[in-house]
């Protein structure tokens, strides 16, 4: 009888402990939700790993203005360029997980850097909580007007006839446009030489000046040069043609079946940020992305707006890490 009584007391104690733990979790959840309703009470820092004027900076600034209006607090862009975005990523990863530090994660900082750097000082899956994808932008395959080709098939044929003689520019080793071109080389079966530059502006200037013969560049940067006749666009890297340049075929339809590559970016926060804050940020960003001004902005950029859930963005990041790791392995590319 005594044993039974002791057993009953132990079981009752366990139930009581479980009940207390559940009560604490419930209270914490309520407190987090209540805090999220009052958040933010001060300015928010939006860290960008690249300099002013580039694609990542432009979308981040456009988004920050919309969020500042809707959230009642300033969202201030903080440019921290260097290390392919790694310097900014480390700063963001180590920030307090209180919702007051956002990071403009990109294809390089959240995916390709994992394989490009042997000792990456952060882990994009472990150190960040995804909020949402904000933008997906394809590249245009550009060539010098003097190059004797009018189509992608002709460009591939020329490259095969002169292996190692043609070259291409990138904005730096390990970035999206570098590895997209490496994947194109592999899938097209051609040998063209990589010439890295220090940024998007320099690679485009080099192509216009004739230092290189080809380049993958983002639509908003490349299109004015194409329309001015300074460059020729042979193809677009997306799966479908773009409404902004409907006459330009995709690489897949123009000669390399199955090819698809895009640049992308999104917003992440330090890993321990509460789910209530992540949800609040997701709602604000998704709402901003659907405003008429942002919709028009994306259309002009040749981009697709994001807004997917945190879980969908997390899955996207993991898929991209695997995809680009294969490209890095095949190409032998390294940033260190």
Statement to judge: residues 222 and 269 lie in one domain: no
129-139: average pLDDT: 96
Is 151 within the bounds of a domain?
A: yes
Statement to judge: residues 144 and 242 lie in one domain: yes
Statement to judge: residues 237 and 298 lie in one domain: no
pLDDT at 197 (0 to 100): 87
Per-residue pLDDT of 281-296, as tens digits, reads 999 999 999 999 898 8
Q: What is the pTM of this model?
A: 0.82
Statement to judge: residues 227 and 301 lie in one domain: no
Statement to judge: residues 124 and 270 lie in one domain: yes
Asked if 45 and 101 touch (Cβ cutoff 8 Å), the reply is yes
How far is residue 19's CA from residue 13's CA, in Å, rounded to a whole number?
Answer: 10
Statement to judge: residues 223 and 160 lie in one domain: yes
Is 111 within the bounds of a domain?
A: yes
Parent domain of 213: 138-254
Asked if 89 and 103 touch (Cβ cutoff 8 Å), the reply is yes
Is 33 within the bounds of a domain?
A: no
Is 107 within the bounds of a domain?
A: yes
The CATH number for 297's domain is 3.40.190.150
Statement to judge: residues 143 and 70 lie in one domain: no
Per-residue pLDDT of 144-198, as tens digits, reads 999 999 999 999 999 999 999 999 999 888 888 899 999 999 999 999 999 998 7
Nearest to 141 by CA among 258, 57, 264, 245: 245
Is 3 within the bounds of a domain?
A: no
Q: Which of 254, 283, 303 is the last residue of a domain?
A: 254
Q: How many domains does the chain have?
A: 2
The CATH number for 207's domain is 3.40.190.10
How far is residue 57's CA from residue 200's CA, in Å, rounded to a whole number?
Answer: 12
Statement to judge: residues 128 and 193 lie in one domain: no
Q: Which of 226, 254, 282 is the last residue of a domain?
A: 254
Q: For residue 174, give every residue at least 6 positions away whose Cβ sits within 8 Å of its Cβ, in sequence order, or none.
A: 84, 108, 112, 113, 116, 117, 333, 334, 335
What is the gyration radius of the CA atoms in the chain, in angstroms? 24
Cα 48 to chain centroid distance, Å, stands at: 11
When pLDDT is cut at 50, 70 and 90, the band that residue 27 belongs to is very low
Phi, psi dihedrals of residue 103, rounded to the nearest 5°: -130, 130
Is 119 within the bounds of a domain?
A: yes
Statement to judge: residues 152 and 239 lie in one domain: yes
Is 25 within the bounds of a domain?
A: no
Q: Does 8 have pLDDT greater than 70?
A: no
Q: Which of 228, 254, 280 is the last residue of a domain?
A: 254
Statement to judge: residues 110 and 68 lie in one domain: yes
Is 7 within the bounds of a domain?
A: no
When pLDDT is cut at 50, 70 and 90, the band that residue 234 belongs to is very high
When pLDDT is cut at 50, 70 and 90, the band that residue 321 belongs to is very high
Higher local confidence (pLDDT), 309 or 53: 309
Statement to judge: residues 114 and 211 lie in one domain: no
Statement to judge: residues 55 and 66 lie in one domain: yes
């Amino acid at each position: 009888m005594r044993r039974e009584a002791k057993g009953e007391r132990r079981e009752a104690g366990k139930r009581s402990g479980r009940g207390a733990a559940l009560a604490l979790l419930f209270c914490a959840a309520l407190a987090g939700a209540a805090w999220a309703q009052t958040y933010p009470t001060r300015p928010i820092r939006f860290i960008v790993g690249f300099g002013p004027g580039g694609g990542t900076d432009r979308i981040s600034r456009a988004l920050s203005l919309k969020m500042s209006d809707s959230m009642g607090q300033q969202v201030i862009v903080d440019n921290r360029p260097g290390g392919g975005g790694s310097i900014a990523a480390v700063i963001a990863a180590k920030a307090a997980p209180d919702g007051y530090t956002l990071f403009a994660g990109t294809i390089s900082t959240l995916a390709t850097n994992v394989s490009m750097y042997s000792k990456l000082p952060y882990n994009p899956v472990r150190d960040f909580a995804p909020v949402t994808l904000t933008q997906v932008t394809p590249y245009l395959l550009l060539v010098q007007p003097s190059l004797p080709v009018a189509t992608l098939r002709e460009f591939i044929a020329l490259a095969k006839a002169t292996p190692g003689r043609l070259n291409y520019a990138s904005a730096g080793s390990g970035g999206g446009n570098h590895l997209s071109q490496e994947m194109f080389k592999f899938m097209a079966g051609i040998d063209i030489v990589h010439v890295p530059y220090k940024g998007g502006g320099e690679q485009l200037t080099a192509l216009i000046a004739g230092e290189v013969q080809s380049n993958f560049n983002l639509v908003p940067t490349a299109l004015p040069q194409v329309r001015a006749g300074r460059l020729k666009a042979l193809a677009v890297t997306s799966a479908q043609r773009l409404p902004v340049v409907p006459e330009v075929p995709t690489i897949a339809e123009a000669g390399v079946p199955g090819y698809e590559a895009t640049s992308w970016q999104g917003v992440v926060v330090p890993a321990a940020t509460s789910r209530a804050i992540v949800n609040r940020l997701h709602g604000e960003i998704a709402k901003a992305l659907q405003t008429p001004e942002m919709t028009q902005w994306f259309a002009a950029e040749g981009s697709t707006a994001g807004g997917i859930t945190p879980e969908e963005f997390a899955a996207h990041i993991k898929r991209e890490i695997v995809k680009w790791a294969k490209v890095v392995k095949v190409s032998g590319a390294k940033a260190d």
